[in-house]
Structure formats: C-alpha cells, structure tokens
Amino acid sequence: MTPRLLQFPAERIAQSNPGRLGPNAGAPPTSLNPYSTEPLFQPLTLRSVTFKNRIGVAPMCQYSAVDGFANAWHFAHAAQYAIHGVGLFLVEATGVLPNGRISPNCLGLYSQGHADALKPLTEFIKSQGCVPGIQLAHAGLKASTLSPFKKTGNAVLASLEVGGWIDNVVGPTAGKLSPELADARALSITEIKEIVEAFANAAKYALDAGFSVVEVHGAHGYLIHSFLSPFSNKRTDEYGGSFENRARLAVEVCQAVRKVWPDNLPLFFRTSATDWAEDGQIGFTPEDAVRLAVLLKNTAGVDVVNCSSGGLFTPKDPSVLFQEGYNVSFSKRIRKESGISTAVAGMITRANHANGIISEGSADLVLLAREFLRNPNWVFDAAKELGAEIEWPVQYRRGKPRD
C-alpha cells in the first residue's frame, strides 16, 4: 500500500535561492564580494539545467525506506541541504527493481507510488533554487544486505524473515563476491534485457517525480560495475571477456535511459575509476575508465561522469581511501582525455581544496558526503572562507553573521 504523502506545497513558501552569488537583501551588511569570481561559486549549465554553484550532495543511503517508499526522513534529509545552499542534491542509490536494492530499507523506483512519494522532495528542492537528481541503481552481487544500524554480530545478509531476498541475488557470474555476501546466480541474457528496461522505466518515473538529473550507478561493486570489471565478470558470452563486452551493459542501460530521458536534461554516470588492483590482480583500471567515458559520451548521451573508486575489494593499502581528494586525479584524467564533464567525491572537506579542484580543471562539480553529515552549513561556511557573498534563505537571513 502506498504510504500517505507529505503535503508541503512549495508555492506557498516564501522562496529564495540560497547558495547563489549576489547581494543578500535584508541580511546584515558584509564586506564579502557579491560578484566573486571564486570558481566554486560560479554557475554551471549542462543542457538546459543550470546549477547555481559547483557544490553537490553525493548520494548517501539512508536505510530508512519501507518497501522502497520515500518518507518524512528522506524529505528532511534533502531539505536541509537545499536550504543551506547546495547546487545539486542527488538522492541515494535507488533500486530499479525490488531485488536491485542494497537493503530492504533502501529506496526503490519501480511503481507510480514510488514516484509520487518523491514529489514533495523534488518540489521543495526546486523551490530553494537547487537541482534535484536521483541515482538509479541495481545492487547485483551486493544486494539483500542488512542496513548498518540493523546488523547484529557478524551478520551481513538480510534473510527472507526480515524482508531480504537472498534467494534472488544476481550478478554477471554465479557465486559470492565475498564470503559474507549471498550466493548469486548468473543472469541470463533475457534477464539482462529486463534489467535494462527496468532502468529505463525508473528514469520515466524519475521524470514524473520531478527530477532534473538522473545518474546511472556504475560503481562500488554493484551490478553494472560487476559487469565492467574482469575481477567479477567471468562470462564468455557477449557480456563478458573483452572490454567492449564487459562495457555492454553500462552502454545499453545509458542508451535506454537517454532514450526516455528528455534531451534538455543531463544524464550522469557514476564510475569506479579503479578497482585498486595490485600484485597481479585483475580489475577495472583508470585506462578502462577513460575508454568507458568516451564510449558513454559518444554512444549514450552521457553528460557527466561522477568519479569514485573501489567497491569490489579492499586496496592493499586501505589508507589510500582516507587521503584527501583520493579520487581527484582520476576525475582530472577522465575529464582531460575524454572531453566529458566530471564530478568527483571522496574525502573533500575543505573549501580551498574544493575551490582548487574546480579552478585547476580537475572536475566541474565537487560532491561531499560525510562532511555534509557533520556540517550541513558547509556551503555557507565555504562562501565566507572564500570571501564570496551568497544568498541565505529569507527565513534565515536574520541569523547571517555580520563581519
């Protein structure tokens, strides 16, 4: 049964455009520059969509849905960032099929009811001058797991008794990605085609729900990434073996989504630019990531590659994942060698660092995740640190600090 929808008609709210450069009428006077040239606060236009700044919220699983439906928590999570000035908000990895969710508590987008539940969220985000986006995903080999705050002991899998589907976990090849995960079965060609269609259907629902950006999740060991990597893809048919075959699912999904997604709206693809393979291991490489970006740009109408890394196994030196901006070099290379726009996430916490990523041409957008959880005011703080005056919500302007 579809849950009762939130009723917050945004047109009745006094609106503003927090996070946009400009004189902040009605707020305390400051010496900050309303015409700042700091790259982080310059607008970016992709197709017909203009992002007021280069700052976005990376997709973060909230593990708070029931039967895939968004609820008040998802609204509140998104609204706080729209209020506080981000240019782009990307909704968490959202399953295109019930068994494509990471956990029983992850969002889904495979019915009209799921789209309707997301409409209050997109309406409010837009009312604050922020662009709403959604990441469409299939968890593949890593599906039917417990949400982090529902795990007990060493248990990882969500059993049938708690709403899981450990009997219906799928991947490119039969078997387990790791000992603690479900024993997956290999997808048939027919099932692959059905998943491609499910991504396209989810994109239609995303449009109906009011989103302006769709991102196809091709990273972090989930289904599309598991096809891309020779580490996890041992198929011998047209979806395995050569790079072109392993990339086939990613290309077909993006082509199917682009076909139903309006020409005036941007399409993103999230990639793991490396598997961090070492010491003779095989995996997806930065060179593969560049080739994939070119392929998606030229054959599937992808506008932005969102650069991340890993997800299939842990690097030999895990400390690399805690180094500041550890994915920036991948983003810079993909952007330079493929000519596609890029976004990047991964240990980006400082305003000067984020500004430098944009000014040096390493990415077109920077996405923060955990840092936003620690500090939802990050955009306001970054503007002050960089000397840029940006708008605050009209409802909050009396709280804006004076110099």
Show which residues are catalytic.
222
User: Strand, helix or coil at 56?
Assistant: strand
H helix and E strand count, the chain: 11, 12
Indicate the burial class of 65 (C-beta count within 10 angstroms; 0-12, 13-18, 19 or more): buried
Please state, in angstroms and rounded to a whole number, the distance separating the CA atoms of residues 130 and 70. Answer: 19
Write out the two tokens for 9: 């008609």
Under 8 Å between Cβ of 331 and 344: yes
Please state, in angstroms and rounded to a whole number, the distance separating the CA atoms of residues 27 and 391. Answer: 9
Strand 185-186 relative to strand 49-51, pairing: unpaired
Q: Nearest-5° angle of CA 355, CA 371, CA 57? A: 75
Under 8 Å between Cβ of 198 and 110: yes
